[in-house]
Amino acid sequence: MAEIDGDALGWYRCSTWTEGDTHGGGASTTAITDATANNVFDDVSDAERSAGDVEYRKIWVKISSGTYPDPKVWIESNTPAVNDTVKILLAGSKSTVSTPATLTGTLQFTNGNTAVVGTATAFLMELAPGEKIYNMTDDGEGDAVTIASITDDTHLTLASNYGGTSGSGKTGAVAGIDAAAANFVAPDAKDHASVLAGRDITTSTPLGIWVQRTVSAGVNKGYEDNSATIAVEHS
C-alpha cells in the first residue's frame, strides 16, 4: 500500500458553520487552521459557565490525493479545564445540531426489526454509526433509533428494533445530533475500546466528526488557553 503524505490531509469546516440549530451539513472548502484560538469553538461566556452549556461542531477530514484507509479517531488530549470536556462521534453529511434532515431516496422500515433498506439512497456518505434515523413520512423525531452499522449505500442496521411505523417507499430523516447526545464518546488512545472507526478517506469521501463540548454549571472563573486535540490515524 502506498504511503500517504500527512500534508495531504486537512481539517475543514462543515457547510453551515454558523452556531445554532442548523449548524452541520457536508464538508466545505474552508480549512480549519491547526492550533489556533477559537478555530472550532468560541469562548465560553460568564453566563454559560454559570448556567452550564452544551455545544456541537461538525468538522471534516479531507485528503487531496490518494486514500487514507481505515481511519481511527480519538481525543489525544482533552481539555485541561476542570469544568468542561469534549466528546466525539462520527458524522454523515446530512445531520445538523437540532434540525432533522431529509435523506436521499426512500427507505423501508420494519417495526420490531433492526434492518433498514434504502432505494436510491446514499447511506455511506449521508449517515454515520451513532447518528439516529426515523421514518419521517409517518413518525416523529422521538421515534428515531441509533444506527449501529452501515453495510453499503442501501443497507444499514439499527442498534435496537425500530418501534415506529413499518413500510417501504418512506422518506427517511436523520435526527438532530442533540438527540444522539448519549452516543458521544471520549476515547483517549487509538487502541481504546470506544475509538471511532471511520470508512476510508478518499478525495471524494471525506470523514465527518461531531465534537460535543459540555461546560458544567456553577463555575464562575474561566480558563485561559483551554484546548483539546483530536487525532486521526489509519490502521
**Cβ atoms of residues 159 and 32 within 8 Å:** no
Average pLDDT over residues 59-74: 94
Task: Look at residue 48 in the predicted model and tell me its pLDDT.
Answer: 85
Task: Look at residue 218 in the predicted model and tell me its pLDDT.
Answer: 82
C-alpha triplet 234, 180, 75: angle, nearest 5°: 35
Residue among 144, 174, 184 at smallest CA distance from 54 = 184
Residue whose cell numbers read 486535540:
229
Task: Look at residue 5 in the predicted model and tell me its pLDDT.
Answer: 47
Average pLDDT over residues 128-149: 98
Q: How far apart are CA 137 and CA 169, in angstroms?
A: 9
Residue ranges of E strands in 92-163 = 101-102, 106-109, 115-119, 132-135, 145-152, 155-158
The count of C-alpha atoms lying within 13 angstroms of the C-alpha of 192, restricted to the half-sphere facing its C-beta, is 16
Q: Which cell numbers in the block locate residue 212? A: 460535543
* Domains of the chain by residue range: 6-95+180-234, 101-175
Q: Which cell numbers in the block locate residue 51? A: 448556567
Segment 207-217, tens digit of pLDDT: 999 999 999 89
User: Average pLDDT, whole number, for the chain?
Assistant: 93
CATH 2.40.30 corresponds to the domain 101-175: yes
Average pLDDT over residues 192-220: 94
Among the four given CATH numbers 3.30.360, 2.60.40, 3.40.50, 3.20.20, the one describing domain 6-95+180-234 = 2.60.40
Task: Look at residue 1 in the predicted model and tell me its pLDDT.
Answer: 24
Q: What's the pLDDT band for 7 if we cut at 50, 70, 90?
A: low
pTM for the whole thing?
0.94
**Cβ atoms of residues 108 and 118 within 8 Å:** yes
C-alpha triplet 138, 95, 160: angle, nearest 5°: 55
Cα first-last separation, the chain = 12
Average pLDDT over residues 1-18: 74
Q: How far apart are CA 27 and CA 167, in angstroms?
A: 32
User: Where is average pLDDT lowest: 9-18, 128-137, 219-228?
Assistant: 219-228
C-alpha triplet 205, 24, 159: angle, nearest 5°: 75
Residue among 155, 136, 133 at smallest CA distance from 144 = 133
pLDDT surpassing 80 at residue 13: yes
pLDDT surpassing 50 at residue 147: yes
pLDDT surpassing 80 at residue 90: yes
Task: Look at residue 46 in the predicted model and tell me its pLDDT.
Answer: 83
Pairing relationship of beta strands 106-109 and 167-170 according to DSSP bridges? antiparallel
